[in-house]
Every structure is written in C-alpha cells, then in structure tokens.
Structure 1
Amino acid sequence: MFQTHNDARFWDRIARKYAADPIADMAGYERTLARTRDYLDGGETAFEFGCGTGTTALRLAPFVARIVATDISGEMIAIAREKAVAQDCANVEFAAATPDAAPWPDGSFDVAFGFNVLHLVAEREAALRGLHRLLKPGGLFISKTPCLKEMNPAVRVAIPVMQFVGKAPYVSVFSGPELEREIEAAGFEIVESDRHGTRGRDARPFLVTKKQ
C-alpha cells in the first residue's frame, strides 16, 4: 500500500504533462484497439485499470454497453472525467481504485483491460487475483505490457537513477513468458499472444486471456 501511495503521488504530479504527451507508436496503438474490438460484441460491461487520462476507455466506450475505468491517480481520473464531458461520452465511469481493492462485487464484469500498466504494479499477483474476482466465469482480460527484460539493458540501468531523483515510479522487470506464467497462475488461460508494435522489435506483448 505504501508503494501504491507513493506512485499515486508521482502520477498526480505529472498528470497534465502525461495527458499532453503523444502516443509514441500510434499505428501499433490503433492495431491494439482494433484487435481488442474484435473481442467485443457491444453488450459487455467492461473494467479497465491503469486507465490514465482515459484515452483508451473513451476509444473503446462505443463498443461496450458500459465501462468502469480506474487508476490510482486522482489527477489522472480528474482529467479523464474532463475528457468524457468534452466528448459527451455517457457510458464511462471513472474512479480511483485498484483491482485488489475494488468495491464492485464478484463477477461484475464481462471483460477487463489493462494496457501499459502491469509493469507498474508492485503487487501484481494481488492485482491479477482482483481482476479474476471481478470477472464473470469465462470473462476476458485483455492487456498489453512493456516487458523490460526484453528491452535494451540501458533502460533497466536508467530506471533506478530516475527513481532516485523522483522522475520514475515503481517499475518491474520481467519477460513476456514470465508475464504469461504469472497471469496463468492467477487463474487465466492464454487465448491469444501477439505483438502489435510497428517500430523495430516490439517488447510489448498483447495478451487475451480467459478466466478459468
């Protein structure tokens, strides 16, 4: 909980700058959205964690009945709500919450999303168990996660320095196969594993998994 509190303060501090930053690989992002939409029929109640300023939730909202999008940062949620009002999007609810401490009952959701967030979660096992609890039997968890163990080692060297000077939050280092094993251990079956990046070697596996 201490780590989550510290990270929330970090994201609160940079929220406005984060909201203004462009998506680095827009073509890869669009491919991820398109593939995610392939798994939706329009009637789902969806859950997203690590929603940031709500960009992806708002992009997916037209393809589900309702989406609850959450983040640990109150400032990120405030920006997401502003964007929802500006876009007149009525079927999105933004809330400050984490999967392991989410107030919604068991089996509340048909599908869950977690994009570019699992490497930032210190209590990843608890978060995955929380997602499993929130999903209905057979519900899908769709994610895309940077796997730093597959990236340039210089990135891993730089992170502790950036954390020391307050320029980075908690970051976990793992590979794609290690992440898949963690998700399976939480009670999910891997349905699809792909890479959507369009710039060089992609270290961000796109995973579709089903609650067993």
Structure 2
Amino acid sequence: MKNEATFWDNISEKYARDPIKDMDAYTYTLERTRSYLKTSDQVLEIGCGTGSTALLLAENVETYHGTDISSGMIKIARRKVAETSLSNLSFEAHPALSGIHVHDDLDAILAFNLIHLVKDIPATFAAAHAALKPGGLLITKTPCLKSASFKFQLIFKVIPLAQMLGKAPFVHFFSVQAYDQMIENAGFEIIESGNHPINPPNRYVVARKL
C-alpha cells in the first residue's frame, strides 16, 4: 500500500496540471451524478485525487468528504478548497477501504477512475454497502480495460513493464459485464449505466443499496 501511495505522491503535481482527456464525457457524467444528489446528503468520495470533482459537487450536498491514498493529492485538494467559500468540504489521506470504514450512515459513495486501481474490489464494494443508508447510492466511473478495442489491448501490454519500472500503478483488467456483476454481487441494484467514453469503455454506474 505504501508503494501505491508513493507512486501517486510522486505524480500529484503533474496530475493536478494535466487536462481532462475527454471533457464531454466528464461533463456528462458529472451532471448525471449531480442529478442524484440532494442538499441533505452526506457524501463520501474515495480516490478523490486533487479534489477537482469534489469542488464541483460539494455545493449540492450537506457534507462532502474526500479521501485518497496519496497525501500529496490531498495536500493539493486542501489547497484548492482553501481558496473557496465551501465550508462543507473536507479531505483526508486514506486508502479506499479505510476511508470507507471510518464512515457510516452515508447517502452516497462516489468513486471516479478508481476501482480498477483497488486491489480488493469485492471488499471495497462490501464496505461501501455497509457504510450506506438503506437505499443509498454507489456512483462509480471506472475504465473496463478488458472490454477495450484490440488497438488499446496492444497498448496495455506495456503496463507490466511500466509497473516494474515504477512508472505505472497496480491495475485490474476486467470487462464491463464483470464490473456490473461485481456491483450486483455486493448487494446493489444498478439503476443507470453507460460507457463514457465508449473506447476504452469508462463504465459509469449508479447503483442503489438493496
């Protein structure tokens, strides 16, 4: 876990500077997520990175807490929120699982571009299920790399080498179908889904705790 945190710490400043690759897809799923949030909601975002999405959604809810494995990312997120008037937004450095475990009775748990980087996905979904209120929402957006086109599959073959050199983090490869099934197996009902962008498919899922 320490190695993963160090990797993200080392690239945190560059990550903060990099532009969003597909702004149309990002904006669409951001607005879809906003449509599910209420002003009375208690929200946790795991893997919040430098807090860019949190800053855009926090004004729509009662409380919004972001966690990330990287203290470097969290430092940047705190710097950003300090420049706003938001008083309901906070950040803390935690791996995804421990970030969930310190919360309960949540209305929504969000995870964007994170789940494929989490080593124990079933445990993460189980913890999210336990931390949510009955009927609470799990909203995720995750690359399903096994469902990518052949061209991207060829590109992905260099990932193991990049990982050996410390240039890439741990990554899961799973299909869209497998991802949806993992969510359902954790006790959720999928109420909205789609791929934004389509290739490689970045799977957007809104799921309700049963």
Give TM-score scaled by structure 2 length: 0.94
Listed as ranges, the gaps of 5+ residues in structure 2 are: none
Stretches (4+) displaced over 6 A: none
Q: Deviations over 1:117-167 (max 9, x none)?
A: 000001111111111111111100001100110222123201101111111
Distance 1:99 1:76 in 2: 14
Q: Which residue of 2 aligns with 1:41?
A: 38
Residues 178-193 of structure 1 aligned to structure 2 (within 5 Å) = 178-193=178-193
Distance 1:146 1:42 in 2: 29
Matched, 1:209 2:207: yes
1:75 match: secondary structure: helix
Instruction: Give the number of equivalent residue pairs.
Output: 206
Q: Which residue of 2 aligns with 1:150?
A: 147
8 Å Cα contact 1:52-1:80 kept in structure 2:
yes
Distance 2:147 2:72 in 1: 31
Q: Name which of 82, 85, 89 aligns with 1:85.
A: 82
Q: Name which of 21, 24, 40 aligns with 2:21.
A: 24
Distance 1:208 1:38 in 2: 11
Q: Which residue of 1 aligns with 2:170?
A: 170
Q: Deviations over 1:36-87 (max 9, x none)?
A: 1111122101000000000011110111111011001111001000000012
Aligned residue type for 1:6: N
2:191 match: secondary structure: strand
Distance 1:89 1:105 in 2: 21
Aligned residue type for 2:79: E
Q: Which residue of 1 aligns with 2:133?
A: 136
Distance 2:60 2:84 in 1: 15
8 Å Cα contact 2:96-2:118 kept in structure 1:
no
Q: Which residue of 2 aligns with 1:104?
A: 102
Distance 1:82 1:93 in 2: 11
Displacement of 1:202 after TM fit? 4.9
Aligned residue type for 1:135: L
1:169 match: secondary structure: coil
Give TM-score scaled by structure 1 length: 0.93
How big is the alpha-carbon RMSD for the aligned residues of Structure 1 and Structure 2? 1.3
Distance 1:42 1:54 in 2: 19
Aligned residue type for 2:186: A
Aligned residue type for 1:86: E
Q: Which residue of 2 aligns with 1:70?
A: 67
